[in-house]
Structure 1
Amino acid sequence: MSVGIVMLVHTALARAEQVARHWSAAGCPLVIHADVSVPNKTFRAFREALSDLPDVRFSRRHRCEWGTWGLVAASQAASQIMLDEFPKVRHVYLASGSCLPLRPVEELIDYLAERPQTDFIESATTADVPWTIGGLDAERFTLRFPFSWRRHRYLFDKYVALQRTLRLRRRIPPGIVPHMGSQWWCLTRQTLSAILSDPERATYDRYFSKVWIPDEAYFQTLARQYSRRIESRSLTLSKFDYQGKPHIFYDDHLQLLRRSDCFVARKIWPRANRLYDAFLTDAAHAMKKTEPNPGKIDRIFAKAVERRTRGRPGLYMQSRFPVETRENGLTSAQYSMFQGFTELFENFEPWLARATGTRVHGHIFAPERAEFCDDQTVMNGALSDSAALRDYNPHAFLASLIWNTRGERQCFQFGPCDNQAINWDIAKDPNAQISVISGAWAVTLFQSNRNFADIRREAARLQQIESKHLEILRSSWTKARVRIWTMAEFIEAPMEPLQTIIDEIGAQQTTRGIAEAPKMADLTGFGQFLQNLKNQGMHPYLMGNFPVAHSPHAPQAGKRKPYLVR
């Protein structure tokens, strides 16, 4: 008899009885505390069910509400009975009714017998604790918390705010340094006796009774006063999510728990029959005798927390639709947006598809409809080409397009005639590759047969829209990879920027460069067209400087042949 178990129960008493019998069968005495919230009839039945076990005691009942003094008072009362009635106990192990022994109890007894002077209790100063949730680290020891955080949250918050406003501070009892850690500890008889019989215990109890979550601070602080040797870790495997709530283990966590090599795990779902059967009755498959190492599964829990808090990049769904700035990326994969290329080059989309092997769409944010590749009306994931559906949430439309086609790079066209509501989203997306030939929209007006007065008004409107878009792309908030050329500088040497774009997309090209160049539109007279706009009072500056006398690009005569750029 070297290990005594103090068990705090408040629900699922049938499971608590099963675990208590398991502890008792290994020769461990138990002192059980049942929460006051447990109905008297239920408690009497539970007590009667364990009456056949000679080494089971019950302590005075307290109300054990989370974050309040009751949990410490319950632990004190049960521990005192353990020390008084079982003098052969060397270590006292604090557990709950939802704890489950993962290894044979005899291994725990042997493990502690080899370390008779060691206290296993997680104990760290507030400056060294990274896991506190709620913003109350040092303040939980310097403010008063007379109100329940769960039942009287409004009063709790207001009283904290009042103390901060009035700069009220409590005095920490002399001689102690507040520490924090897991409430599930295993202390030696000497340390626990010293804590419970300390002459200053009344002072410490008064102080900690108004500390927030005292069960994570009382024994953790006072153990530092008396312990000969502290192992600042708990022998109980307990994990918490990003909100500070304990993870609950279910049947499908069986192999995960076995990998931990821990002696006890918390918190177990009461209906996890497979877990209880495996660890309480299946001695043949018990874990090997080895040092507890919860770090083996820390990586899995870390990934689970990250998935829960950040989600998968570019995925939005009913169960997780984050607010702006809290999403894990706008999109799930890299994509390319081209502005001005379809206006300057004939059949640019099929050429780009051949050159890169990607899926190349038209203007997916066009006013009439989303111009999907191959003139499709519905894309992967039942994504419709309806402009009304798309414009209801352009952000979600783009994210869905990239997510539904992941594994295949998407390219699409954009221009000042398209829906501009998506501009900032794309600019701030690190997955976006944006290539812009500014002023290329004027080629379409140049080739149109419209009244020149209408052309002038439309040119002024489109230039204003594109100018605002370029301001966004040049903003310090932009995270996309952006390349901007004026139309004049692009047509002087088009192959170099085209090769740069193709290389960045990652197409499988030969080292000799692009084998086939796209055909440029006939720009004969384009310089004079821009001059006419100037003569009418409109200043087309986004295109760059075009000479008026001759065309900057002579159209090719005859059949176009592919050529190589060396």
Structure 2
Amino acid sequence: MSLGVVMLVHDALGRAEELARHWATHGCPVVVHVDKRVKRDAYARFVNALSDLDNVKFSKRHRCEWGTWSLVAASQTASKLMLKSFADVRHVLLASGSCLPLRPVAEMVAYLEERPQTNFIESATTEDVPWTVGGLDAERFTLRFPFSWKRHRRLFDGYVRLQRRAGFKRKIPSGLVPHLGSQWWCLTRQTLSAVLEDPERETYDRYFKRVWIPDESYYQTLVRLYSTNIESRSLTLSKFDFQGKPHIFYDDHLQLLRRSDCFVARKIWPHANKLYSSFLSEDASIMTGAEPNPGKIDRIFSKAVERRTKGRPGLVMQSRFPNDGWENGTTAAPYSVFEGFNELFEDFEPWLARAVGARVHGNLFSAEKVQFAGNETEFFGAMSSSAAVRDYNPQAFLTNLIWNTRGERQCFQFGPMDSQDVTWTLAKDPNAQISVVTGAWALPLFRSNLNFSDIRREAARLQKIESDHIDVLRSGYARARIRIWTLADFVANPMEPLQTVIDEIGSRGSTRLTEAPRMVSLDGFGQFLQNLKNQGMHPYLMGDFTVGQDPGPTARSERKPYLVK
């Protein structure tokens, strides 16, 4: 025999029994450490189930907890028993009760026999390890960690802050250079016995008892003292997500695990019956003879991490609600926002729908109700026209609308009388195309029958809202495609900006407009603006309208230069 397995078990004892029996019946002695928190009855049944195997032994039990010295102590106790009980063991593999052999044991034994002096343990200095999570890399060796991170989080964090503030640093034992790596190693008998029998072991143990997560650094550091023949990699495939939590393998990962050519994988779901039955079978056809290469599947895991952290563009759902700024794009597809066009043109919405072949809504963020196209009360994805429901989360409303209508361009109206909570969302969304005719909100006031004092107050209020909105659109944070015209500039030459907007949307029709919406009458509008000035309100967003020279609706004959080449 040349390979012994030290197995750390804390749950799923049925699967652990199956794995221990698999190793043992294929010539690999097993020493099992069972967490002391496992109840006595369950432990007794587990021991009894493996009592027919002479090469399976059980070590003294420790109460184990993640991130603490207890895991190292458990591996030390079991390893000592392994070296004492099985003199023929040349390599010792540390595994857990959820580590599943992916290739025949005979193939792994042959691989190790070809490398009798090689230690397989991931061991890198803190400067070379990019995967530490939680802000503690070098500090895990220079601070003290007497409190459990899982059970006493506030004490743990508070004591770390106190040590940082006091400038406390522990002295690292002479001759040690801290290294980090995976806790799942395969060491030669010579190296492992040197670690366990070192005269300075008491000093090293005392130091590492106050290191954070010592099972990722104890053997990884000490092995450098006793061996120069080190392969800094693990024979056990273990993958971690962006939070440092291990990926769990399920039945649908069968082909993925086979592709890796690794000898062992963790962490396998206890109920993955297909994985256990496939890899614990006696089918010799799965023998590959290939070098373990987890890099073959790294791309898949990288994409999985990206999908989990960023998600799909414009998709936010209960199961993956990202922090602000973590979302992968606000919306899923391009859309268009028109501000002031409904006020300036008659029947603008049906005209735009004919011109671009898109879904054209009214004011989706109107204070009274959501004005869906066709005045629908419900829209795709069971979206309600209720303003109260929409205003619970306006950004989510917009995101849902665009996601639910992927493949169809959405256009809607917006203005200063609408809810402004979505202003920054629109401005920062690269998918948004925003076209603004400033001051057009004054046209409904111009045609209204209100008292002029009321008109002046409302005009001042709406101008302040639109001014703030324009400031947002012109800010350095804006990422939307934004075009802004004053009302005076727009009505002086309406066809050119209309053509520009239609071209950006991507009209399904001809390249030049053959039909234009009818502009509302502007007779007397210049005098109306002058009256506002006379009442003490300065209407500056409309542009320059000279009194007595009011532009009227553009005549059909005046459009012809834009309609023909």
Q: TM-score, normalised by structure 2?
A: 0.94
1:68–1:122 Cα change, 3 Å: same
Match of 2:542 in 1: 543
For 1:153 and 1:540, the matched residues in 2 are separated by 59
Q: Within the alignment, does 1:231 sit opposite 2:231 as a pair?
A: yes
- Which region of structure 1 is more displaced relative to structure 2, 223-232 or 376-385? 223-232
Aligned to 1:523: 522
Any conservation in 2 of the 1:173–1:207 contact (CA below 8 Å)? yes
Write out aligned runs for 1:187-266 (5 A): 187-266=187-266
Report the alpha carbon displacement of residue 186 of structure 1 after superposing the two structures with TM.
0.9
Output the CA distance in 1 between the equivalents of 2:78 and 2:507: 71
In the alignment, the residues of structure 1 paired with residue 456 and residue 262 of structure 2 have an alpha-carbon distance, to the nearest angstrom, of 77
Secondary structure class of the residue paired with 2:522: coil
**Do 1:517 and 1:562's aligned partners in 2 also have CA atoms closer than 8 Å?**
no
Provide the C-alpha distance between the structure 2 equivalents of 1:386 and 1:26, rounded to a whole number of angstroms. Answer: 68
Match of 1:36 in 2: 36
Q: Which moved more, 1:276-285 or 1:266-275?
A: 276-285
Which one is further off, 46-55 or 91-100? 46-55
CA distance in 2, matches of 1:529, 1:360: 31
Shift of 1:16: 1.2
1:478 matched residue in structure 2: 478
State how 1:354-503 maps to structure 2 within 5 Å: 354-503=354-503
Q: For residue 484 of structure 1, give the secondary structure of its aligned residue in structure 2.
A: strand
Aligned CA distance change for structure 1 residues 516 and 185 (closer, same or farther; 3 Å): same
Instruction: State the percentage of identical aligned residues.
Output: 70
Residue type of the alignment partner of 1:171:
K
Relative distance call for 1:509 and 1:90 in structure 2 (3 A) is farther
Question: What is aligned with 2:22?
Answer: 22
What does the per-residue CA deviation read over 1:431-461, in whole Å, with 9 as the maximum and x for residues that have no partner? 2221111011122222334443333232222
* In 2: Cα distance, 1:409 partner to 1:513 partner: 19
Q: Counterpart of 1:420 in 2: which secondary structure?
A: coil
The answer to whether the 8 A contact 1:261-1:287 is kept is no
Deviation (angstroms), 1:359: 1.0
Which letter does structure 2 place at the counterpart of 1:466? E
Seen in structure 2, the aligned counterparts of structure 1 residues 525 and 130 have a Cα distance that, compared at 3 Å, is same
Q: Which whole-Å CA distance do the structure 1 matches of 2:139 and 2:372 have between them?
A: 58
Tell me the alpha carbon deviations over residues 122-159 of structure 1, each in whole angstroms, 9 at most, x when there is no partner.
11111222222221111110011122222232322222
Q: Are the equivalent residues in 2 in contact too, given 1:531–1:548 (CA < 8 A)?
A: yes
User: What is the Cα deviation at residue 217 of structure 1?
Assistant: 0.2
CA drift at 1:307: 2.9
Q: What letter is aligned with 1:281?
A: S
Alpha-carbon distance, 1:473 to partner: 1.4
Question: Which secondary structure does the structure 1 equivalent of 2:422 belong to?
Answer: helix
1:224-274: CA deviation from partner (whole Å, max 9, x where unpaired): 222222222111111223332222222222222222221111112222222
- In structure 2, runs of 5+ residues without a counterpart are none
Deviations 1:85-114 (A, max 9, x none): 333322211111111111111111122222
**8 A contact 1:516–1:562 mirrored in 2:** no
Code of the aligned partner of 1:243: Q
Q: SS at 2:277's partner residue?
A: helix
Q: Is the 8 A contact 2:309 2:326 kept in 1?
A: no
Separation (CA, whole Å) in 1 of partners of 2:294 and 2:442: 65
Instruction: Return the offset for 1:219.
Output: 0.7
Matched, 1:152 2:137: no
Q: Is the 8 Å Cα contact of residues 495 and 559 (structure 2) preserved in structure 1?
A: no
User: 2:495–2:562: 8 Å Cα contact kept in structure 1?
Assistant: no
Deviations 1:264-321 (A, max 9, x none): 1111222222211111125155253322222222222223333333333333333333
Work out the CA distance in 1 between the residues paired with 2:228 and 2:89: 18
Deviation by residue 1:4-40 (Cα, 9 ceiling, x = unmatched): 1111112222211111111122211222222222233
Q: Structure 1 residues 403-412 or 444-453, which shifts more?
A: 444-453
Conservation of the 8 A alpha-carbon contact between 2:361 and 2:410: yes
**1:339 shift after superposition:** 0.3
Q: Structure 1 residues 508, 113: closer, same or farther in 2, change over 3 A?
A: farther
Pick closer, same or farther for the CA change 1:445–1:85 going to 2, 3 Å.
same
Letter paired with 1:469: H
Q: Runs in 1 of length 4+ with deviation above 4 angstroms?
A: 557-563
Instruction: Tell me the matched-pair count.
Output: 565
Taking structure 1 as the reference length, what is the TM-score of the superposition?
0.94
Would the aligned equivalents of 2:518 and 2:553 in 1 still touch at CA under 8 Å?
no
**Amino acid in the other structure paired with 1:62:** H
Q: 1:34 to 1:392 in 2, by over 3 A?
A: closer
Contact in 2 for aligned 1:344/1:443 (Cα 8 Å) = yes
Query: Residues 508 and 227 from structure 1, CA distance in 2 versus in 1: closer, same or farther, beyond 3 angstroms?
Result: farther
Measured on the aligned residues, the alpha-carbon RMSD in Å equals 2.3
CA gap of 1:303–1:364, structure 2 versus 1, over 3 A, is same
Range with bigger deviation, 513-522 or 210-219: 513-522
1:564 alignment partner in structure 2: 563
Shift of 1:487: 1.2
Aligned-residue offset at 1:483 = 1.6
Instruction: Tell which deviates more after alignment, 81-90 or 161-170.
Output: 81-90
CA contact (8 A) 2:313 2:332 kept: yes
CA contact (8 A) 1:117 1:228 kept: no
**8 A Cα contact 2:338 2:411, kept in partner:** yes
Give the Cα–Cα distance (whole angstroms) in 2 for the partners of residues 411 and 302 of structure 1.
36
Per the TM alignment, residue 383 of structure 1 is displaced from its structure 2 partner at its CA by 1.0
Write the letter of the residue equivalent to 2:478: T
